[in-house]
A and B are shown apart, each in its own frame.
Chain A
Amino acid sequence: MSTEHKITTQKVNFKVFRFNADEDYLPYYENYEMEVTSEEVVLDILNRIKWDHDGSFSYRRSCRHGICGACAIKVNGRSTLACKESMNDMIDLFGEELTLEPLSIKRAVKDMIIDKGDFWEKHDSIHPYLISDVEEHPEHEHLVTPEEADTLNDADLCIQCGACHYACPVVEINEDFFGPAAFAKAYRFESDVRDDAHTSRLEELHEEKQGLWDCVKCYECAEVCPKDVNPIDKITKLHQMLFKEGVAKSNVATRHAVGFKHSIAKRGVLDEGGLVLYSEGPSIVKHIPVAIKMFKKGKIVMPWDIPTSDNLDEIKKLVESSSTAKF
């Protein structure tokens, strides 16, 4: 089979976000039509806009090897690391009209450059470093087994590019929400056997304000991460850790998670109303107006009519024998 690699070129129209916070009242878009070769990455295009068209065009770049995390931008709304993203893939995905924007338009400072202050502030808040009483003259090295290292290896790959943070719909809505990158970083240290801050960091993370339980489970973060950190998987693992370490506080979110187990143990099938009651407690009253409307439309099944899975004894037995968490 021939492995000959043919370089092709094609015409692409780039619609590029332009804004200078010092001079412009509003941002605008400038069009650049370019011949793009199949070998180029998105960063090559940013360079060519600056070098060939407008020297004032601004963006962050440094390593051009997917390590420094400086060059993340959005292409047609998709967070991407410019030095790693092939133009061919972008054209395949979005066609020959491509819009280049900063990661967050509302945080734009100049063209592709944003004020990433919120990202760093949250990153700092999770104490992103090993907290440990290191003996000054230890007898031997602090050994970490390969299995122990495996639990944090992928989380450790994060380059703080912000692609996931600014792709997260909750970050966009709730400015207190820590976001996928900070939580993934917290997991990286939480799962490090050398770290001593374990439960105290977890307890801090569990405070309601930063929203460890507000993740909407949309998987945007996992989809955009250029280093396959899979932040939502780390958020899930932090949730599991809260229960495992016995620091999970009783709130609507934790009761909601635990409520599934109780409901499944009882009927196999979920009892929807029962779950809301278990999670909300007396606050269930706030759901009554919608529940009445749903009842009128035949969308509420009475407790005595809730279906039950066949072979329920199997489910009960498995819940009994396979449970690994306590609350």
Chain B
Amino acid sequence: MEKLKYALFTGCTAKQSTPEQMMSTMAVAEKLNIELVELTEASCCGASHLQDYDDFLSLVLNARNIAYAEKHGLTMVTICNTCQLNTAMTKHRLDKDAELKAKVNEKLAEVGLEYKGTSDITHFLYAIIDDIGLDKIKEMVVTPLSQFNIAPFYGCHNIRPSELQNETHKTPESAYRPTSLDDLIIACGGQNVDYEEKNKCCGFHVELQAPKTAAILTGNAIAGAMDGNADWMVTPCPLCHLKLDTQTHHASKAIGREVELPVLHMQQMVGLALGCSPEELGLQHHLAEVDFV
């Protein structure tokens, strides 16, 4: 298989609160013969919050990040749904508005950079589905996850707004009946759990200002997966992961029911199926104990 090469935008959590996500991304990339060039110059994407304060500044900063991927002549790969949304949204807006693009480039020129619009931006989930393919991944599986019922949790910012999201990857995804993560579970040999909350919100973005709302949404998501007889959950988004893995105490209290399940990052699930060790994948970093490996 020809070596695939992408520019990796790690986002901020991969280097702080979800170190296991960084570890598993690198481990899986190696197994899949993918070369990831880390964009060490990249700044935070603003996480949809800087956007509430200063839209233009967020556009400039995200355009700068993309400009570095363009310098490498590579597709930018994200490993966080919210990074994906904010970066892809920036690209979408600049590519269709020449005036706005010129204004942003005027600023970038001050630091010797230019946003051209030449790099695609895609989440790692879709990169491996689009460019490697589920059949190939299935062939490469050495430890099928056949004894597990796995509940996919998609995360809003990979599936909505669907018009934007479907610009960024080849495999079409429905916001109402998403299939990518289900298909990936099946390719890894697991049984996918269908449940109502799989395409719903985890509440991450209001954790500070509306903690009760956030906790109820997290609780509902885990409860839905538990009621679907899931052994564990899997998500492509580190922010969803933080909610589902570290906030179970508040979530249980908010919905009046003890909820907890092991929650894996999408990369950890693929890594397990491809024969990576639990340590390589950082499973020891989880709060909800991963006791099945």
Contact = CB atoms under 8 A, between A and B. Distances in A.
* Bound pair (A, B): yes
Interface of A: 76-78, 93-94, 169-170, 173-174, 211, 213-220, 222-223, 230, 236, 239-240, 243, 251-254, 256-261, 263-264, 268-270, 272, 276, 279-280, 289-290, 293-294, 297-301, 306-307, 309-311, 314-315, 317-319, 321-325, 327
Contact of A260 (B53, B247, B284): B53
Interface in B184-241: 196, 200-201, 203-206, 208-210, 212-214, 216-217
Interface of B: 12-13, 15-19, 40-44, 46-57, 60-61, 64, 107-108, 110-111, 113, 156-157, 160-162, 174-177, 196, 200-201, 203-206, 208-210, 212-214, 216-217, 246-247, 249-250, 284-287
A272 B284 CA distance: 21
A301 B247 CA distance: 18
Given A317-B111, A321-B110, A261 B15 contact: no
B176 A309 contact: no
A276 B208 contact: yes
Q: Secondary structure of the A side of the interface? A: helix
Contacts of B213: 170, 173-174, 214, 216
14 contacts: A169-B201, A214-B213, A216-B213, A264-B50, A272-B13, A293-B287, A297-B285, A301-B17, A309-B41, A309-B43, A310-B40, A314-B41, A315-B61, A319-B61
B49 A256 contact: yes
A115 B114 CA distance: 54
Contacts of B175: 223
Contacts of A300: 16-17
Contact of A173 (B205, B209, B217): B217
Nearest to B17: A299
A169 B217 contact: yes
A239 B205 CA distance: 15
A301 B15 contact: yes
Given A216-B204, A269-B44, A293-B287, 5 more contacts: A213-B210, A252-B208, A299-B16, A301-B16, A309-B40
A257 B50 contact: yes
A261 B57 contact: yes
Given A263-B44, A297-B287, A314-B113, A217 B19 contact: no
Contacts of B12: 269-270, 272
Given A276-B208, A294-B246, A260 B50 contact: yes
A228 B249 CA distance: 38
A90 B201 CA distance: 23
Given A93-B176, A174-B210, A211-B210, A323 B44 contact: no
